[in-house]
Amino acid sequence: MTAAQSPAPQARGPQQGRETWTSNRGFILAAIGSAVGLGNIWRFPGVAYEGGGGAFLIPYLIALVTAGIPILFLDYAVGHRFRAAAPLAFRRMWRRAEALGWFQTAILFVISTYYAVIIAWSLSYFYYSFGTKWGERPDEFFTGDYLRVGEAGVSGELVGTVAWPLIGVWALIIVILALGVAKGVEKLNVIGLPLLVLGFAALVIKAVTLPGASDGLNALFTPQWDKLSDLNVWIAAYSQIFFSMSIAFGIMISYASFQKRKSNMTSSGLVVGFANSSFELLAGIGVFSALGFLAHEQGKTYEQLDGLTGPILSFVTFPRVISEMPGSAFFGALFFGSLAIAGFTSLISLMLGVSVAFQEKFGLSRTSASVTVGVVAAIVSFGLFATTTGLLALDTVDQFANNIGIVVSAIAMCVIAVWVARTIETLRAHLNAVSTFKLGWWWVPVIGVYAPLFLTVMLVQKIYDLIVDGYEDLPTWYVGVFGWGTVGFLFVFAAVLTAVGWKGRDDPSFTPWPIVGSGPSSAESKESVR
Ligand code: PHE
């Protein structure tokens, strides 16, 4: 079908009444809200430090430009052209690609079940900041008094201090999901994101003025050039970009699917990408200034500090910083409040992706999908991660879902779009027809050749390491169940949901918007609409 022969671009079937963001600004805010999360605050600073400090900015920026931004555009193109969450959008691109959409949905589901728990911890610690309840030994407090950590295993024993705030997190998520895209998700971001930026900026300003801050910043930014020859540093840079930008998870597909027809997609993508990286740098400055202060107060050198990333950075090292500080309650509240808001605006994006996928496949209403999906995720979240064995399970599941799941997803997405469904030129023409920043020819080889090759190297290396070295000295059975079990779950979930028949909105008459404006209109004739 050529552009000229295409039927008028009327909305039809399920498209009729598809929700939209109220404006492009709403979309951009929501997309930044999804991207800016725990990954920016607790992951980036430590990864950058270990990856060569100032020198790490080189692989990081290369990863941003050669994978982050191009794959973000691919997500946008698929979502905006095929107007659905990942499973249906991929199905419309190429019938069999539906499975990839469910694979991504499975990753979202898994991540959301533990991400919510970290938000619950942050809420508890927000409260504990008033009065520095963690006392003299924040390490013992976190794993002992607060989480009551048990041996590596599975215990059904709920930890009340985690479970209570967790109920609040899930209740709020379900309500916001049920309110929908414009009234729920967009509103949350319109309120949450400015609050986050203000609160976090205040925190960083305070942090850089502390004694010792400059030592921390020197530690973060002094380049160690020799690290650049280490493949693992490059892999860390690419992983950071993927997780941080929320790409190849299907989230940006559903977010883009709620954009109106005339939406400046690529320019918005550039804004989102650079905003996310800027926040990441800001977090690096804030966190390392605070760590410099801690070393200064404790009369240590910077190298003697430990616990520089992840949960330990936030819930052990940071409480130490807070305790050392005059006016600490305020600083603590800013830090844990920022963590909670940043996490919440990301969690909503994870759950929206899952909920819309189920609405479309099973013809569910928004409310029933939100409640069903929310309750199931909440139950898993309580059962696995709010228990005395939750911390370890969380760490292991996170490692495998992110390092293996997401890389498999990204490779499959690139290969299918370019080599199997052969829709990449259409997607490029589509983006160029609606956007002011035009994608040149370079986008196709980046998506079709460079990204999948590099990601494959990355995947092989990671799998090899995990098989040979295991994970974190954990017992093999444990890594088998929680680590490889997670990967297995992703595949099984994808297979089962693909096999189930469509009850909902697989509208055979779906027609993508015709590509008018710029770009080769012949590109569209290469595509068959399935
Ligand atoms: N990008 C978010 C962060 O940096 C995490 C996230 C990943 C959110 C995937 C949604 C999807 O923390």
> Is the CB of 47 within 6 Å of ligand 1?
no
Question: 347 C-alpha to center of ligand 1: Å?
Answer: 8
Residue whose structure tokens are 């000229």: 4
Q: Give the residue carrying structure tokens 């299907």.
A: 250
Report which ligand 1 atom has the smallest distance to the Cα of 342.
12
Q: Give the pLDDT of residue 196.
A: 97
DSSP string, 156-189: --B-HHHHHHHHHHHHHHHHHHHH-IIIIIIHHH
Q: Give the pLDDT confidence of 200-231 residue by residue, as tens digits.
A: 999 999 999 999 999 999 989 999 999 999 98
Residue type, 271: V
Query: Which residue type does 207 have?
Result: A
Locate 21 and state its tokens.
């963001």
Record: fold of 3-525:
Amino acid/polyamine transporter I (1.20.1740)
CA of 244 to the centre of ligand 1 (A): 5
Distances (CA, A) of 25 to 61, 81, 341, 352, 383: 25, 20, 19, 19, 38
Residue 86 token pair = 């990942």
* Ligand 1 atom closest to the CA of 346, numbered from 1: 8
The protein residue whose alpha carbon is closest to atom 8 in ligand 1 is 346
Please identify every stretch of the chain with a pLDDT value under 70, giving residue numbers as ranges: 1-17, 505-506, 517-530
Alpha carbon distance 86, 374 (integer Å): 18
Q: What is the pTM of this model?
A: 0.92
Give how far Cα 79 sits from Cα of 320, 369, 422, Å. 44, 20, 16
Q: Is 38 in the pocket of ligand 1 (CB under 6 A)?
A: yes
The verdict on the CB of residue 107 being under 6 Å from ligand 1 is no
The whole-number pLDDT of residue 517 equals 62
Q: Is residue 456 packed enough to be buried (19+ CB in 10 Å), middle (13-18) or exposed (0-12)?
A: middle
CA of 191 to the centre of ligand 1 (A): 19
- 409 C-beta closer than 6 A to ligand 1: no
